[in-house]
Structure 1
Amino acid sequence: MKCCTFLIIAVALLGSAECSKILLVFPFAAPSHYILGSTLAKGLAENGHNITMVSAFGERTPPQNLTYRDIVLTGFLEERKKRNMNLFKLEDLDPYSYTTFLLSMCLENTRKTFEHPNFQALINSDEEFDAVIVEVFFNEALYGLASHFNAPLILFSSTGPSLYIDMAIGNPSPPSYIPEIILKYSSDMTFWQRVMNWSFKVIAQLYYYYINLPAHNRIMKQHLPHIPDLSVINYNASIILLNSHESFSQPIPHVPNMIDIGGFHVTPVDHLPWDVKNFMDGAKDGVVYFSMGSAIKPTDMPEDKRDAIVKALGKIKQRVLWKWNEDNIIGKPDNVKLFKWLPQQDILAHPNTKLFITHGGLLSTIETLHHGVPILSFPIFGDQKANSARAEMDGYGITIPFPEITEKKLTAALKELLNKKKYRKNAKRRSKLMRDRPVQSLDLARYWVEYVIRHGGTPHLRVAGVDLPWYKYLLLDVILFVVLASVGSITTIYVVMRRLCRRQVAKKQTEKKQTEKKKKVKKN
């Protein structure tokens, strides 16, 4: 009995010794972002860590018997709903206008996060943390929390690699084959697409360095005046966890502190609601699942696009599960069933699911590939266009730009995807690639967070490129030197040759005059 008691105490002491206090900051009021943050937070809590989660949401089902605390940014969700923005209109914005809009919105969100009383109570407390994890979403001022709490900084990207991440950690991002995330290009770009990609990256970098970072630095210094400048903190992340993987993302260069954990949020298959299950089980020709994600409000869709979709779906023999935010839709065909909410992952896992009609969001793309279901994509904004372009390139999907949706185009795309086996075959192949890993994604994330904590940071993984100013990193000073040296050399050679030619011409003219003079003398 004493031996058992001793073992229990020893195990408890060992567990407490390995327990760390971790702060996670996911302030953006978007369900898809929170799903990723809460999955990571709960996964770390399950490993015995003391978790503090800052978000616009509150965890409805916090881990039982674990140390998990929510700091809720109250009012953020209500404000987002009050704005009632029609996200379909974002499709009309060009990449520059969209980037400016997004950076401005995220800057304001960061300002309000710092000013929120619940957040103020946190930063003014005497709490200590062993690591600070911040979601990367144009909120660089929040990186200062790591210095404030004297803890290593861990970044998390909900959208995978991007230009701004590459700049922050010194990762190479050649514009020749790596399109920026909000452009609708795949890696196989035409000449003019490469021109556009290069010019966008240059302008975006200049805006980021000279407008965005200084604005965030002012916010950070206002609330955390004692910490270093953002020009230092922004490049000081120990690691960055990326919601990406080569099975569904473009293979690109990775510096050592970039960790791919894409797919970590995918959950085991659960039971479907009885009405959904009966509808799907009875579909002898299969089911088409249609959802535009958690952020887009389907009823904001223009009437002509809605009518085209309704008519095209009514022509297919498959049953359709449509996530729609109202009880009915004008002209609803008999094969379509509407639901305000659907368990997406469980539907995609059902053997009768033949096709997923989607907006091309990254989480939806990951989930559909995990279960090997092809997609028909109507991308609207953000990374959706790049994800959709990748799906077409990899052969498991077709994309119809939202403004180009017509009944005829949609009918043809549905016929192609539902009748040709190659799309499902390619989706199943990607599913095998996604599942074939030496370590599960969430376990990999937990390992690296604990690795950073064990070693108090990872300066040995940090590449030297982050210490270089942008003009040195891009070798612009070297290129300028070579250009000036070349121009100087060419100019020198030109001047010398010109002088030599002039002398030669002058010499010939002198000789000619002397010859003519001799001839004249001889004649006389």
Structure 2
Amino acid sequence: MFGKIATVVAMTVMVMALMVVQETNAARILMAVPIGTRSHGNFYMPLAEELARRNHTVTYVTGYEKSSSHPNIRVVVVPDVNIFDKMPNLFTTDRFTAIGAIYNDMKEVCIKALSHEAVQRLNDEKFDLVILYLALTECFLSFAHKLKVPFIYVNPNKLLGAYAAAAGSPPFPSLDASYMLDLEYPLTFTGRMMSTAQDLLDVLFHNWVFIPSLDDECRARKLCPEDMPYLGELRYNGSLFITNSVRTMEKPTLPYTPTLVHAGGIHCRPAKPLPEDLQQWIAGAGEPGFIFFSLGTLIKSSDLPDKYLKVLVEVLGSLQQRVLWKWDKETMESLPPNVRLVKWVPQQDILGHPQLRLFITHGGLFSTQEATYHGVPILGIPVAIDQHYNMRKVQKEGWGHVLYWEDLTYDNLRGHILQLMDDKRILDEVHQRSRLMRDQPMSPADWATYWVEYVLKHQGASHLRSPAVYIPWYQLYNADVWALLVVTTMLTTSLMSWLSFRILRALIRWCCASRKTKKE
């Protein structure tokens, strides 16, 4: 009897001790990610929720109405900073023009978000760590400086040149081109020239245009303290770079420093049961199954030019499969009887449905990752930003096709759809890639959270940072050494050429003099 009581008491003490330890290790984390597309929240929120489940308190700053059921997450909404929502019609605007418009607005949007009253009130609170969106939001580094705490970058895409350098993982434009370019691996000589030029322009833009302008504006508006180092220097002090990439599935594989944490597919999850009415509609498709068509959250399907819409309606209406079409309006003219319109749908529950035969998509990174996770072949019709890059990559890997809008015809579209649904090699490839993506030692959320807690535990984990972050570019790439070698080689060659010329001239004179002497 007394033994049982002693056991219960001991267990109670142990549980209380564990609770005390957990509470002691709990951190207050500021996750400031107000700028980006709505889908970017699918990368940030799973990390925030996993941190909250581990008893950390997360203040989540976003530009969209976002809710979380976890009591440890406080959402702070910053309105009117969603520049992606104000983009022009992407079907009629060149993608580089659209990207240029984003860059032009980013400085003002960053300052606007930082100066918002709800954000400024956070200066009066205490935090142990700051997590920031990577791209073009360096004005929020002022929080990390004021709080004297480590900061971590999160990036819902792959790293571009300027940010790869900040991570201490210099880019390799000879291997992997920016997603801004319509290139694929292996790169040709012309491709390497274009890739190198793009990376150089990206670095020059950030280091010589955007960052200096943002730093001046932030100080002028008294949002950045006077004692704060230059933003261009401060941005190199990131403890981690959490990126939306699956390390074991990258092509080409690249070398990375320990500060780069791959959490690709952090948003992917097993499918859940669909709403009853939708499930019944899908079940009615029978053996042929159904097709899902979505252009994501950034692109409005209703912006489709009439010539494209007409082809899509004709082809989809001619199929024996039912088609679930994500459409941002209530109705559509000449809607075929086998097509159902939805404004929103739980995409992963659709992609994981056993009757789904094909996913027609714009080719956004989140959509292609979800298709990989659920083992669904895709037909990509890219529109803007990284979508062309993503879909060329998918096609090269052999589990989907890319069809450009300018090539959209009845025969082309129908041919791609039928081939993708019937080609066993494509189905086998996408199922194999699904197995590869799921075969990880721990979930992406657990992996990313482990490293966040590692940074907290080791006060910034500065020992992980590569010295490549701190040395000048000409030392990193041995430009001074190569310059010396080139100059030395040129001088040596010139000297040898001069000596050879003098010796040869002397020999010729000697020979001529000898012949002249013999004749005399």
| Equivalent AA in structure 2 for residue 190 of structure 1 | T
The one-character-per-residue Cα deviations of 1:28-65 (angstroms, maximum 9, x if unpaired) are: 152111222222112211110011111112432331xx
Give 3-state SS (helix, strand or coil) of 1:449's partner. Answer: helix
| Equivalent AA in structure 2 for residue 261 of structure 1 | A
Cα deviation for residue 354 of structure 1 reads: 0.8
| Equivalent AA in structure 2 for residue 269 of structure 1 | A
User: Which TM-score applies when normalising by structure 2?
Assistant: 0.92
Q: Name which of 308, 312, 316 aligns with 2:315.
A: 312
Contact 2:271 2:350 in 1 (8 A): no
Contact 1:144 1:220 in 2 (8 A): no
Q: 2:74 corresponds to which residue?
A: 69
Map 1:283-322 onto structure 2 (within 5 A).
283-284=285-286, 285-322=288-325
State whether structure 2 residue 343 is matched by structure 1 residue 340: yes
State whether structure 2 residue 29 is matched by structure 1 residue 26: no
Contact 1:163 1:201 in 2 (8 A): yes
Cα deviation for residue 9 of structure 1 reads: 4.2
Contact 1:141 1:219 in 2 (8 A): no
Give 3-state SS (helix, strand or coil) of 1:452's partner. Answer: helix
Contact 2:84 2:102 in 1 (8 A): no
State whether structure 2 residue 92 is matched by structure 1 residue 85: no
Structure 2: distance between partners of 1:192 and 1:414: 33
Give 3-state SS (helix, strand or coil) of 1:429's partner. Answer: helix
Structure 2: distance between partners of 1:258 and 1:417: 35
Contact 1:29 1:57 in 2 (8 A): no
Q: 2:137 corresponds to which residue?
A: 139
Structure 2: distance between partners of 1:39 and 1:209: 32
Structure 2: distance between partners of 1:247 and 1:287: 31
Q: 1:521 corresponds to which residue?
A: none
Structure 1: distance between partners of 2:213 and 2:277: 51
Contact 1:267 1:345 in 2 (8 A): yes
Give 3-state SS (helix, strand or coil) of 2:268's partner. Answer: coil
State whether structure 2 residue 232 is matched by structure 1 residue 231: yes
Q: 1:476 corresponds to which residue?
A: 479
Contact 2:394 2:400 in 1 (8 A): yes
| Equivalent AA in structure 1 for residue 309 of structure 2 | R
Structure 1: distance between partners of 2:425 and 2:247: 20
Which is worse superposed, 106-115 or 313-322?
Answer: 106-115
Q: Name which of 450, 460, 471 aligns with 1:457.
A: 460
Contact 1:248 1:366 in 2 (8 A): no
The one-character-per-residue Cα deviations of 1:165-208 (angstroms, maximum 9, x if unpaired) are: 31111214322221112222222233322222222222222222
Give 3-state SS (helix, strand or coil) of 1:308's partner. Answer: helix
Q: Quick one: percent identity of the two aligned structures? A: 30
| Equivalent AA in structure 1 for residue 174 of structure 2 | S
Cα deviation for residue 398 of structure 1 reads: 0.2
Q: 2:108 corresponds to which residue?
A: 108
Structure 1 residue runs without a partner (length 5+)? 519-524
Q: Name which of 381, 384, 388 aligns with 2:384.
A: 381
Cα deviation for residue 231 of structure 1 reads: 3.0
| Equivalent AA in structure 1 for residue 78 of structure 2 | L
Structure 2: distance between partners of 1:271 and 1:263: 21
Cα deviation for residue 239 of structure 1 reads: 1.2
The one-character-per-residue Cα deviations of 1:288-333 (angstroms, maximum 9, x if unpaired) are: 1000001111011111111111111122211100001112223322
Map 1:38-437 onto structure 2 (within 5 A).
38-63=45-70, 66-77=71-82, 83=86, 85-90=88-93, 92-94=94-96, 97=97, 100-123=100-123, 125=124, 127-222=125-220, 223-224=223-224, 225-246=226-247, 248-250=249-251, 251-284=253-286, 285-437=288-440
Cα deviation for residue 121 of structure 1 reads: 2.1
Structure 2: distance between partners of 1:474 and 1:402: 41
Structure 1: distance between partners of 2:43 and 2:262: 14
The one-character-per-residue Cα deviations of 1:240-272 (angstroms, maximum 9, x if unpaired) are: 111110455323221111111111112342221
Cα deviation for residue 383 of structure 1 reads: 1.6
Q: Name which of 32, 44, 51 aligns with 1:37.
A: 44
Give 3-state SS (helix, strand or coil) of 2:264's partner. Answer: coil
Which is worse superposed, 239-248 or 343-352?
Answer: 239-248
Instruction: Number of aligned residue pairs: give it.
Output: 508
The one-character-per-residue Cα deviations of 1:272-296 (angstroms, maximum 9, x if unpaired) are: 1222111211212011100000111
Structure 2: distance between partners of 1:393 and 1:336: 30
Structure 2 residue runs without a partner (length 5+)? none
Contact 1:182 1:384 in 2 (8 A): no
The one-character-per-residue Cα deviations of 1:126-157 (angstroms, maximum 9, x if unpaired) are: x2221111111222232342222111111111
The one-character-per-residue Cα deviations of 1:367-395 (angstroms, maximum 9, x if unpaired) are: 11111001000111222111111111111
| Equivalent AA in structure 2 for residue 262 of structure 1 | G
User: Which TM-score applies when normalising by structure 1?
Assistant: 0.92
> Pairwise CA RMSD of aligned residues?
2.1
Q: 1:203 to 1:254 in 2, by over 3 A?
A: same
Give 3-state SS (helix, strand or coil) of 1:111's partner. Answer: helix
Structure 2: distance between partners of 1:75 and 1:212: 21
Give 3-state SS (helix, strand or coil) of 2:310's partner. Answer: helix
Q: 1:269 to 1:403 in 2, by over 3 A?
A: same
Structure 1: distance between partners of 2:379 and 2:231: 42
Contact 1:56 1:73 in 2 (8 A): yes
| Equivalent AA in structure 1 for residue 195 of structure 2 | N
State whether structure 2 residue 38 is matched by structure 1 residue 15: no
Structure 1: distance between partners of 2:219 and 2:431: 50
Give 3-state SS (helix, strand or coil) of 2:237's partner. Answer: coil
